[in-house]
Structure 1
Amino acid sequence: MPPSPPYAVILGTAQDGGYPHVGCACDACEAAAADPERARRVACLGLVTSKGMALIDATPDFASQARDLARLARRPASSPLRAVLLTHLHAGHILGLPLLGREGWATDTTPVWATESCLGFLENNEPYARLFRDGHASPRVLHLGWDTSLDDLVIQPIPVPHRSEAGDTVAYRIEGPGRSLFYAPDLDALVPDVLDHLRAADIALLDGTFFRRHELRRDDANTVPHPAIADTMAKVSAIDTKIIFTHLNHTNPALDPESRERRAVEALGMRIAAEGQILELD
């Protein structure tokens, strides 16, 4: 049974292309395609407050993630979202937004929280712009470093380094009555400011895209910068914060619960994110 709100729930843990990854026939993706227990949805975090529910990012798996969030919150699947908060504009984080429109949920002014640059892109490019014109979504500007209240949570968008071709990228500090969570699924590097926010939180969900820097077969890893789990573990092993890795690419060997990479993570008291995992904030 879920705890009393507020709490967070992990609804997806894969990189934008999913797991099995779109267009991939590697052994790991073939195994995930054959076994639903291995498959993972795109990285997403749900928030349950005393008054309702919110999602961080609108992924290609938006429909099933919204339904699962309602189930875990013991609310009808038709219950409106209190907010959709965006970390940035890369495909896996916004492709679900059009399902708020008339072809999908047909919601009534669902608040979409994002930075000014991200909202500017969405309001001026289809199919996202139509959501705002037709009243299915309502833009809410987030100011970097400023606190915003969502019922019994205080949420602060933190600017982080990432490939931000069309808008800012943020992590979120989420403060509950009893515990705090730092959610940073996409990063280029663990810069000092990110480490400071990590230390200040009780729980941190961090970018775990790659276990090592050079896993990709098709690209130079320098064109897709992410902090490798192996490097992150070395930097944060002395920090008391509970560390959980999310946003795993299909090449990441830590996806396999029997791998030596998974054992290395767990030996340090850290974890690989699991769908359905609840993080209490009360």
Structure 2
Amino acid sequence: MWMRVLGSAAGGGFPQWNCSCPTCRAVRSGERPGQARTQSSIAVSADYRRWFLFNASPDIRAQIESFPALHPRDDRATPLEAVLLTDAELDHTLGLLLLREGRGLRLHTTGSAHQTLCEGSALLPTLERYCPVEWQEVVPGADVPLGAGLSYRAFDVPTKKRARFGHGSRQGRVVGYRLTDERSGRALVYLPGVQQLTAEVRAQMDDCACLLIDGTCWRDDEMVRLGLASKTARDMGHLPIDGPGGSLELVSPLPIERKIYIHINNTNPILLDDAPERRIVEERGMEVAMDGLEVEV
């Protein structure tokens, strides 16, 4: 299977339009090496012809245009088969509205996320005014054939993050995906948002060949130190990279071929190519995703 990183940054992208934190300033001025990034999303295919989109960011149009494999082949037929959501956050769902010109949309979400999109943000009722939406409920723990030689198993990712639109205590509010190539048996795990690596979440990583994992913040108190927020990374639903119990300590020893940080906040110093934090990550066998990264799993 092939995986293409369409966007590697957290909500707001990098640099973020209203932020002048050290990393945003550095990349804008060219003072230090680093690349701009769009908001988090990946595309996956078993045959490089039919593609499945995981999360639909507000940057989806530019992301599709940057990847010829997603361009329409004739008339308005596209290789995009379906969209699968990890949650109902705006930075993962606003792009659905930009897909309204399509002939129809196949959408995989949990019941919790679907309820939020219908009754909370009202995004789906708006989208359905423009195009038909075929909804398939994502049930954590169930193995589901996607077609084109792929299957997935969603798994619940517990979070205590405050729900903006209600339904915050329901199972399936945030999920990860384990994707399997049915021919080779090789698996990829997509986990852009995780607050705690529980035993159940860790079990989904077993024997996977590629892991894309939440890299939102370097420190737990990163946003607090910069005076940009009063909440820690964990308060916002994200496990920090550094520190005791951080993802670097827990994930770097795992025997996974490719371990890649994605969903990286604009404040995170690993976005700068020459940052000491980037060097630490790479010395521990981890990678930092960038837009356009392509992996054959």
Does the Cα contact within 8 Å between 2:180 and 2:188 map onto a contact in 1? yes
State which of 151, 155, 160 in structure 1 corresponds to 2:157.
Answer: 160
State which of 134, 140, 143 in structure 1 corresponds to 2:136.
Answer: 140
State which of 218, 222, 227 in structure 2 corresponds to 1:215.
Answer: 222
Report the residue type matching 2:230 in the other structure: D
- 2:19 is matched with 24
State which of 218, 233, 236 in structure 2 corresponds to 1:224.
Answer: 236
Return 195-204 or 240-249, whichever deviates more: 195-204
Percent identical residues: 29
- 1:3 is matched with none
Deviation of the 1:188 alpha carbon: 1.0
Q: Determine helix, strand or coil for the equivalent of 1:122.
A: helix
Mark the runs of 5 or more structure 1 residues left unpaired by the alignment: 1-5
Does the Cα contact within 8 Å between 2:65 and 2:71 map onto a contact in 1? no
TM-score computed with the length of structure 2 as normaliser: 0.84
Q: For each residue in 1:171-216, what CA deviation from the matched residue of structure 2 results, as whole angstroms up to 9, or x when unmatched?
A: 0001113321010000111111111212331111000111111110
Residues 73/63 of structure 1: CA separation in 2 closer, same or farther (3 Å cut): closer
CA distance in 2, matches of 1:192, 1:87: 19
Mark the runs of 5 or more structure 2 residues left unpaired by the alignment: 168-172
Deviation of the 1:74 alpha carbon: 7.2
Does the Cα contact within 8 Å between 1:208 and 1:245 map onto a contact in 2? yes
Q: Determine helix, strand or coil for the equivalent of 1:95.
A: helix
CA distance in 1, matches of 2:266, 2:192: 15
Does the Cα contact within 8 Å between 1:100 and 1:136 map onto a contact in 2? no
- 1:59 is matched with 57
Report the residue type matching 1:132 in the other structure: E
Does the Cα contact within 8 Å between 1:114 and 1:140 map onto a contact in 2? yes
CA distance in 1, matches of 2:134, 2:34: 36
Deviation of the 1:21 alpha carbon: 1.4
1:85-96 aligned at under 5 Å gives the runs 85-96=84-95
- 1:170 is matched with 175
- 2:170 is matched with none
- 1:277 is matched with 293
Q: Determine helix, strand or coil for the equivalent of 1:145.
A: coil
Matched, 1:149 2:139: no
Does the Cα contact within 8 Å between 1:83 and 1:110 map onto a contact in 2? yes
CA distance in 2, matches of 1:182, 1:83: 18
Q: Determine helix, strand or coil for the equivalent of 2:205.
A: helix
Deviation of the 1:46 alpha carbon: 0.7
Report the residue type matching 1:143 in the other structure: V
Q: Aligned residues, how many?
A: 271
CA distance in 1, matches of 2:11, 2:52: 20
Deviation of the 1:15 alpha carbon: 0.8
Residues 164/199 of structure 1: CA separation in 2 closer, same or farther (3 Å cut): farther
State which of 2, 6, 9 in structure 1 corresponds to 2:4.
Answer: 9
CA distance in 2, matches of 1:256, 1:196: 32
Q: For each residue in 1:217-263, what CA deviation from the matched residue of structure 2 results, as whole angstroms up to 9, or x when unmatched?
A: 32231532421112212112321012111111111111111111111
Does the Cα contact within 8 Å between 2:9 and 2:263 map onto a contact in 1? yes
State which of 118, 124, 131 in structure 1 corresponds to 2:127.
Answer: 131
Does the Cα contact within 8 Å between 2:269 and 2:278 map onto a contact in 1? yes
Deviation of the 1:37 alpha carbon: 6.1
Return 239-248 or 49-58, whichever deviates more: 49-58
Residues 228/127 of structure 1: CA separation in 2 closer, same or farther (3 Å cut): closer
Matched, 1:185 2:192: yes
Q: For each residue in 1:36-83, what CA deviation from the matched residue of structure 2 results, as whole angstroms up to 9, or x when unmatched?
A: 9621111111112335112100101011122334x1467649515200
Residues 74/253 of structure 1: CA separation in 2 closer, same or farther (3 Å cut): same
Report the residue type matching 1:246 in the other structure: I
TM-score computed with the length of structure 1 as normaliser: 0.88
Report the residue type matching 1:227 in the other structure: L
- 2:283 is matched with 267
CA distance in 2, matches of 1:189, 1:269: 21
- 2:37 is matched with 40
Does the Cα contact within 8 Å between 2:70 and 2:80 map onto a contact in 1? no
Aligned-residue CA RMSD (Å):
2.2
